[in-house]
Structure 1
């Protein structure tokens, strides 16, 4: 039998991380050959488990099976299969266990996070304790992100734990995007994103929603609905907000006359620009600029 390969690091509380808004608690990978002993490796007592005993952790653990297959069980889900490219969310305060199939073994990689910020995002994207596993078509970027995290964890420099926490949340974000990639709203996102980019790059003109909908194979009402779902605004409101936001930056960062700013941001007149700016920001463009000037004198 081949000896398994293991890598793991654990990150307890330290004064340096006090008050940091999100935390990484552990990371690592396992390479179990067929018929290898499970579990193996060196882990803290509170992380040790067997298939029979299971374990309960106060954290969220993300597990990605890179090769092989196995099983997962928890109080909420029962026993579920895990195959190559399966992604598993292990919930906090839930007794659980997982292990590779003896005939195939498996390679897996994991990262463990504090639950405070992870759980609301998981709930938002439809991950549940009873259905915590999804098998992805392919995940080359996910493996790359894990490798970058492991490489960084080997660097012993000041502040590396903060960078590791950021890397762990990149992995969480990427997994949640992949989790939703087969949903209808994700498949139609390209049309919404094209529309959004059109609106941001050409503030002087509003592209035809009908044309964008036709190109995407959607009805106008459907595209408007998806756009508002993604941005919270209609296309017209979104572009107006983008125009006013750009005007704010120009007023704050330049000495360009208000009339020229109105023209650059696609308003038909200074009067129309000033009226919209005051309606949305509560002050006129001149007063907005004046307040900034007096504040920094």
Structure 2
């Protein structure tokens, strides 16, 4: 898609069939707000219209990406906070909010609106929260291209476009979380240590290499290593090692003809009984049953 005009707004049709998909896209657009301009630039339907002083309440989620300029945001759950370029603002249904660019800088924004039980579940599980609506991800051409693709599809409205654009919305949400979580580790030596630790775990998957020994080989304290590994990866080092062994066991059971005893030995279990108990606890079926069900 070529250069964008100053303002693009689309409100998307939604059918009962689309609703059954679990997520629908309701609106998408773009605004380039010059310094000193009124905001918003475009008149919206009553359900979307707002002024900075009055704010508004929506019946859907929206994801705004501010690519240049700066401004301010506040909501019922979040006090006034500055919004700088590279920030994603997430709006929540039934949550009062207001936002606007700084008159001295204006801003350039992309947005997409959506709703559905698919997203409600992610919010309920804590992936997104009205208490933390500002997600700083920096500048990303990939994020912008997602918005552009949504707008392109909205303009064409080809059959099945709702399923296409909501798939992009889910990709967009995942990308935002990924970029937000990794921005703080950019050029951080911590990541190198953790990556070296994970590579060591994969290389020694059957050696029962204790996390304490991994920390020693990396010349770092075990307590610091365990805490930092868990913060970055999401689980403790020992649990990560168990997951590696579990995944390798499934791979060997389904892609080789090695016996269960041979697999148990290769993965460092003391005996086949220990391996069988380990595998059954995680899969709820025996290793032999798993091979029979999923093997070649």
Q: Distance in 2 between matches of 1:132 and 1:34?
A: 24
- The offset of 1:177, in angstroms, is 3.3
Contact 2:74 2:99 in 1 (8 A): yes
Corresponding residue for residue 278 of structure 1? 277
**SS at 1:69's partner residue?**
strand
**SS across alignment from 2:271:** helix
SS of 2:9's equivalent in the other structure is strand
Instruction: Indicate which of 203, 226, 229 corresponds to 1:224.
Output: 226
Please name the residue that 1:24 is paired with: 25
CA change 1:67–1:203 in 2 (3 A) is same
CA contact (8 A) 2:78 2:130 kept: no
Q: In structure 2, how many angstroms separate the alpha carbons of the residues matched to 1:201 and 1:16?
A: 49
The normalised TM-score by structure 2 is 0.75
Query: In structure 1, how many angstroms separate the alpha carbons of the residues matched to 2:153 and 2:291?
Result: 44
1:251 and 2:238 correspond: no
Give 1:55 shift.
1.5
Q: 1:215 to 1:48 in 2, by over 3 A?
A: farther
Asked if residue 108 in structure 1 is aligned to residue 112 in structure 2, the reply is no
Q: What is the CA deviation profile of residues 141-174 of structure 1, one whole-angstrom value per residue up to 9, with x for unaligned ones?
A: 4334433444444454333322221221222222
What displacement does 1:273 show?
3.4
> Is the 2:137–2:183 contact (alpha carbons within 8 Å) kept by the matching residues of 1?
no
**Which stretches in structure 2 are left out of the alignment for 5+ residues?**
none
Task: Give the drift of 1:267.
Answer: 3.6
Q: Quote how far apart the aligned CAs of 1:194 are.
A: 4.0
CA contact (8 A) 1:63 1:110 kept: yes
- 1:238-257 deviation line (CA, Å, top 9, x unaligned): 33443343333433455444
Cα distance in 2, alignment partners of residues 85 and 288 from structure 1: 47
Would you say how many aligned residue pairs link Structure 1 and Structure 2? 284
| Residue segments in structure 1 that go unaligned for 5+ positions in a row | none
Aligned to 1:120: 124
CA change 1:223–1:109 in 2 (3 A) is same
Alignment match, 1:11: 12
Secondary structure of the corresponding residue to residue 61 of structure 1: strand
- Give the RMSD, CA atoms, in angstroms: 3.7
Query: How far apart are residue 16 of structure 1 and its match?
Result: 2.6
| Separation in 2, partners of 1:202, 1:152 | 48
